[in-house]
Amino acid sequence: MTIIDTIKDEHVRLMSRLALLKREIDIWTRNGEPDYELLYLLAQYFMKFPDEIHHKKEDRIYEALIGAGVLETEYLSRLKTEHEHMAAQAAQFAEHFDDLLAHHASPKWAMIDKVKKFIAMQELHMADEESQFLPLAQKELSKKRLSEINEAVQNELITDAARASFRLLAGIDAEIDNHVAKKN
């Protein structure tokens, strides 16, 4: 399994978390009562996973492509900017949820609007990566280069801070799964 396969698997996982988020936001939009706790957990998830784990891999591939002499197109630099943008959006989203749960005052429509934009951006971004970025990496980078990148990422993720972050994320993931299991 190459780092490209890992990224694709992570996209599948991210899409399923986005689907959960979409479902709760749809309920909320129709004036139903969403599962606030699940929304909170999803906010935590989106604040951590893409930025701390997923984008780390993609950013290294991006750098390797440029290093291999692939032209830095507008499209490629946009992907990187979107990573930063999505991390900021997710942090905002989580902050709003802290407020929402603490004060029970809901800036409802502004929040729904933000989350919908976040979902749309994530979906477009991933579709772009699947159709352009990952095929380009597959074509331009050798198996050896891809496994070197994988190793570099793994080394980056074995620090104490990264381990603590993994544990936290595993806890969030398990709680999300529990919520979903209770509903079904």
Residue 85 CB, shortest distance to Fe ion, in Å, is: 11
Contacts to Fe ion from residues 102-131, by CB under 5 A: 129
Nearer to Fe ion by Cβ, of 24 and 82: the residue is 82
Nearer to Fe ion by Cβ, of 24 and 129: the residue is 129
Phi, psi of 157 (to 5 degrees): -95, 10
Token duo for residue 156: 């980056």
Token duo for residue 14: 């991210």
Residue 86 CB, shortest distance to Fe ion, in Å, is: 8
Residue 29 CB, shortest distance to Fe ion, in Å, is: 26
Nearer to Fe ion by Cβ, of 51 and 99: the residue is 51
Nearer to Fe ion by Cβ, of 101 and 127: the residue is 127
* Whole-number Å distance between alpha carbons of 78 and 72: 10
Residue 126 CB, shortest distance to Fe ion, in Å, is: 5
Residue type at 125 in one-letter notation: H
Nearer to Fe ion by Cβ, of 4 and 115: the residue is 4
35 near Fe ion, judged by CB under 5 A: no
Nearest CA among 105, 85, 86 for reference residue 96: 105
Of these, 18, 43, 58, 100, which contacts Fe ion (CB under 5 A)? 58
User: For the range 92-101, what are the long-range contacts, defined as Cβ-Cβ under 8 Å and sequence gap of 24 or more?
Assistant: 93/43, 93/46, 93/47, 93/118, 94/43, 94/44, 94/46, 94/47, 96/43, 97/36, 97/39, 97/40, 97/43, 100/36, 101/36, 101/40
Stretch that binds Fe ion, among 57-65, 94-102, 147-155, 176-184 (CB under 5 A): 57-65
Residue 50 CB, shortest distance to Fe ion, in Å, is: 7
Residues of the shown chain interacting with Fe ion in the complex, contacts defined by CB under 5 A: 58, 129
